[in-house]
Amino acid sequence: MSRRFIAGARCQGCASEDTLYFDSNSTSDVVMCVDCGFTEARPVTVAVATSSEAVEIVPLKFPMT
């Protein structure tokens, strides 16, 4: 188990600063508060936009002066 504290972060449960740490498990990433025990789990996998969902980027052309 590895714990990394998040500097400057405020807990959503008790609003204390510098009490949150990041705990990396095999199934999910968990943020926990030392003071109140607040936990928030985030999934490890991230959804990536497919080509049909991607936005086309059009280059802008400026007049030369």
CB 28 within 8 Å of CB 43: yes
Strands 39-43 and 20-24 come out as unpaired
pLDDT tens profile 11-54: 989 989 988 988 766 566 788 899 998 988 876 666 676 666 56
User: DSSP class of residue 10?
Assistant: B
CATH 2.20.25 fits 1-65, yes or no: yes
Of 37, 28, 30, 25, nearest to 1 by C-alpha is: 25
Distances (CA, A) of 39 to 2, 4, 8, 15, 50: 16, 14, 17, 13, 31
Domain ranges for the chain: 1-65
Q: Give the residue with greater pLDDT, 25 vs 59.
A: 59
